[in-house]
Structure formats: structure tokens, C-alpha cells
Amino acid sequence: MQTVDGSTANLAGVSPSASSDLDIIGTLCRILTRSQVIISADLTTPHSCRSYLISYSVIEDEDDFSINTIIRERQEQLNAALQEISDLERVMDGIKNLHRQLIEKKDGITQSMNLHRRLVSGIWRLPTEVLSHIFVHCFPETSHISPPSKTLAPMLLTRICRRWREIAVGMPSLWRRLRLYSNEVGNRRWESIAFCYDLWLKRSRGHPLSLEVWCCSDDSNTILRGLIQPYINQISTLSIRFFPPTDKPELMLENLSALQELTICAYDSFLMPNIAQSISQLPFTMRSLKITFPVLKLHDFSAFTPLMARLTNIEVALDQMNTVPNILHLCPNLSSLTILTGVKQKMRASRPIIHTNLRSLRIAHDIWNTEHLSHLFDVLTLPNLRMFEVRYIEPSQIHALFDVLDSLPHPKSSGIDVQSWPHGDLRALIVRSNCPLKGLVFSGGVTPTDEQRAEYVALIPSLEVVVSRVAR
């Protein structure tokens, strides 16, 4: 092959691929040499200036012959230029192909280098069991994950290397939690999103599922329900948010044969009767019920009666404290109760109740209305209570939750008036219950005095009393 300086290169012993590359380079060099002749050719003629000034009538025969000769010469030059352009385009295609092959080669070299580096790295020698344990702790703090989230576990784990992908895909526990949005049904990417949802659920391989579902229109809810239908018997934990214009919330609560924990937030209080009816038909496996909105009234719980006897955990917002003894009466197996209330009316007289299974009681209340707590403490006896927490709710939170129109005065200080805190009634409850209380927590601005705290500890020396300005 001839090189740029005209010498001949010896290609003996050169691989076919390398020889082909050299051919491309040699051809390019020849084209560059020839093209310089074409590019540097002077296109000026004696007629160049005349052509714009004279008419055809004054052109003589000898001029005509000279011009025709120039035209033929230009045609030959044009043909030569077109040929060089064609040859150059062919070489450029070859260069592009060569560039692509070199990029692929570079990637292959990098991959091979990384592979061999991993072989001498400690983390890549970890047994599968150890990696599996690490993967479980890679989850984000959020309770549920919205795919496709390629930057978070477990999807991120499948993109590191083949071994990590195989381990992650083979761990059903990594694919048990998922958040689904029904408003994505109308999205132009819905097919891709639905495929991702389905692939995620398949990887759970029959293990119990924890799902969070955001429900909007009934049509989109129906489609979303159809997508999760093949996995309906795996759902053990379900959290549902109902947004208007949902009219049929019961659709998402049907045939949940393995459900154990249910959380509901219905932003339209008119949905509550249908939701209550559906809750009453939930399976015997149900153990935990949490309703963050709307606020429940006493008659709402009457619809839950078949379910209440099986529940061990309840978290609800109440419109009156008289509902608490009724809940305890309907739920003999209850071990944990969390209530939020902003009621201002005095608690009506209620029969004393002894609940032997309640271990945890948490109350969030309005700082200016503690009288109802006194009456509640008076009627309760909780011989198995281990944890009691009370915290203060800002008036603004009360208004948002209970839709109260009249405003309450904002407290002048972050602490409660110690005279209004029913210390004596809580102390009497602890004494009467003779319970193995381990933790007594005051948070969000509820601040008993040092003397009151000392009295609690005097009753139970091992008791831990925690006072925190921040609501836990």
C-alpha cells in the first residue's frame, strides 16, 4: 500500500482487520492528494468577465469553439470532483464503522478490566447470603417505592452487575412493597408503567405484598384493580388514598382474602359509609385498621362491629372522647390504640371499663381542652399497659382535620398550663391499673413539672419518663 509520502508499506503479517484499517487510511490519503489538484485548479478564463457584458449576437465562431472547449474541460473536472466526493463518502462510512468498532472495543476492554478488578476486590467475594442481607438494608426510608425508580433500591441493585442483578431478582422480599397511582392510567407511558408494575409484582413470587394505592377516577381505579387482580391474594398490607372524583371506593376493598393491615385516607367524607360497609366484610385475617381521614363518629364504628373483635391495632381520629370506651368494648383483643382528637365538649358519663390486653395507648389532643382527658382516665383500667404517650396538637391542625370554622387562640407559650394537665387522674389510672408501665411520653408541648414526673417514677421505679418538645 502506498503511504502519504509515496513509499510502499509492507502489509505482510498484518491481520485482516488491521489491513482493512490501513486500506481506509491509504485510500483517504490518495483522495486528499488528488483532491488538492482539483481544489487548486484555476477556473478563471478570458471569457469569465465577458460573459456578463456581451450578448450572444456578438460571439464569433472562434470564441464559440474556445468556450465549448472550456465547457468540456469543466465537465471533466466536475466528473472528477463527483468521483472524489463518492470515494470520500465511502471512506467516511468506513471511518464511521471503524470508529464504532473502536468504541465497542474500548467498552469491551473496560468491562473486562472491571471484571478482573472485581475478582481481586473484597466486596465481590462476599457470599450470596451476605449480599442478600446487605440488599435488604439498601431500601430508602420511604415505606413504599414508585417504579421505575432506577436510582433507588431494588432497581438500582439490578444495574450494578450481572451477579447483583441475579441476586436481587431472586429475592422476593425486595419486591414486596410498591406504590401505585391510578391517575397514571391515562398517561401516554401507561403501557410501560403497567409493565413495570406487573414485573415488580411477579418478582414477589407469591410472598405477602404491602401496597400503597392512590385512587382517583372510577375508570382508572377499575383498570388498576385489574392489573393487581392476579396478586390480590398476596396483599397483606394495604394503604389506600381516595381522591375525588372517586365514587366507588369499595372496588379496591373487595376479595382481599389475606389482608392483615389496612390504612385509609378518604379526602371526601361522603365516601365513609361505603368504605365502612366494605371494611365490615374484610377477612378474619385483619388485625390492624388505620383511618387518618375523615374524622370518625361513634355510629361509624357500628358498621365495623364484625371486624372490631379481631383487631389488635387501631389508629383513628375521633370527634368525641366517649367513643374510646366503646372502641375498647368492641375490641377485646386490642393491644395498641392511637387516637387524635380536638373535641371541646365535656365527655359524657361512661361506664368504667377494664381492658386486659391493651399495651399501648397514644393520644394526640388540643392543648386547651384537657378536661375530657380527665374523664377518660377516670373510666379506664388497663392492667397490661406498657406504653402511654400524650402529645399536643396545634390549633391549626385541629381546624384542618375537623373543619372547624371558629378559631381557637394560639397558646402564648410552647408548654401546657400545668394546672390544666390532669396529673392526678393519670396517676390514679396507673395506680388503679397496677400495670407494668415501661414508658411515659409527653411530647409536642405537654410539659409536666419535675415534681409530677417524680411522682410517676415513685409509682414504678423502672418507669422511663420522656418529655420532648417535638411530637414523636
pTM greater than 0.75 (yes/no): no
Q: How far apart are CA 469 and CA 268, in angstroms?
A: 33
pLDDT digit string, tens, across residues 355-390: 999 999 999 886 566 777 888 899 999 999 999 998
pLDDT digit string, tens, across residues 231-247: 999 999 999 998 887 77
- pLDDT on residue 283: 85
Closest CA to 263 of 236, 283, 292: 292
- pLDDT on residue 9: 42
- Looking at this protein, which amino acid is placed at residue 130? V
pLDDT digit string, tens, across residues 262-291: 999 888 777 888 888 888 888 889 999 999
Domain ranges in the chain?
16-119, 126-286, 318-472
Task: Give percent of the chain above pLDDT 90.
Answer: 29
What phi and psi values does residue 139 have, to the nearest 5 degrees?
Answer: -65, 145
H/E run at residue 21: helix 16-40
DSSP 396-448: HHHHHHHT--SPPPPPSSSS--TTTS-HHHHHHHHHHHT----EEEEETT---
The DSSP code for 155 is T
- pLDDT on residue 271: 80
pLDDT digit string, tens, across residues 294-329: 888 777 777 777 788 899 999 998 888 888 998 999
- pLDDT on residue 273: 80
Which comes out higher in pLDDT, residue 416 or 19? 19
Average pLDDT of the chain?
79
Q: How far apart are CA 126 and CA 123, in angstroms?
A: 5
Burial class (CB in 10 A: 0-12, 13-18, 19+), 425: middle
Strands 288-296 vs 261-266: parallel, antiparallel or unpaired: parallel
Mean pLDDT (whole number) for 210-238 = 90
Which comes out higher in pLDDT, residue 419 or 342? 342
- Residue 333 · residue 358 · CB < 8 Å: no
Mean pLDDT (whole number) for 191-210 = 91
- pLDDT on residue 399: 45
Angle between helices 16-40 and 61-119 (to 10 degrees): 150
- pLDDT on residue 387: 96
Closest CA to 445 of 361, 370, 357: 370
Q: How far apart are CA 342 and CA 367, in angstroms?
A: 9
- Residue 168, pLDDT > 80, answer yes
- Residue 41, pLDDT > 70, answer no
Give me the half-sphere count of Cα atoms (radius 13 Å) on the Cβ side of residue 306. 11
- Residue 52, pLDDT > 70, answer no
Closest CA to 452 of 465, 469, 438, 436: 465
The DSSP code for 2 is B
Closest CA to 256 of 277, 234, 225: 234
Residue whose C-alpha cell reads 466486596 in the numeric block: 123
Q: How far apart are CA 4 and CA 214, in angstroms?
A: 70
- pLDDT on residue 10: 44
- Residue 405, pLDDT > 60, answer no
Q: How far apart are CA 312 and CA 332, in angstroms?
A: 9
Which of 99-113, 406-420, 450-464 has the lowest average pLDDT? 406-420
CB atoms within 10 A of CB 158: 18
Which of 87-91, 191-195, 287-291, 426-430 has the lowest average pLDDT? 87-91
The CA–CA distances, whole Å, from 141 to 114, 137, 157, 267, 325 equal: 31, 10, 16, 25, 35
Mean pLDDT (whole number) for 402-406 = 40
Task: Give percent of the chain above pLDDT 70.
Answer: 76
CB atoms within 10 A of CB 342: 24
Q: For residues 392, 394, 400 and 403, what is the CA-based torsion angle, rounded to 10 degrees?
A: 80
Which comes out higher in pLDDT, residue 124 or 75? 75
Show the cell assigned to 147: 417504579
Query: Strand ranges (DSSP E) for 134-260?
Result: 177-181, 209-215, 235-242
- pLDDT on residue 144: 72
List the 387-393 sheet strands across, edge first: 177-181, 209-215, 235-242, 261-266, 288-296, 313-318, 336-341, 360-366, 387-393, 439-443, 464-468
Show the cell assigned to 80: 472528477
Which comes out higher in pLDDT, residue 464 or 8? 464
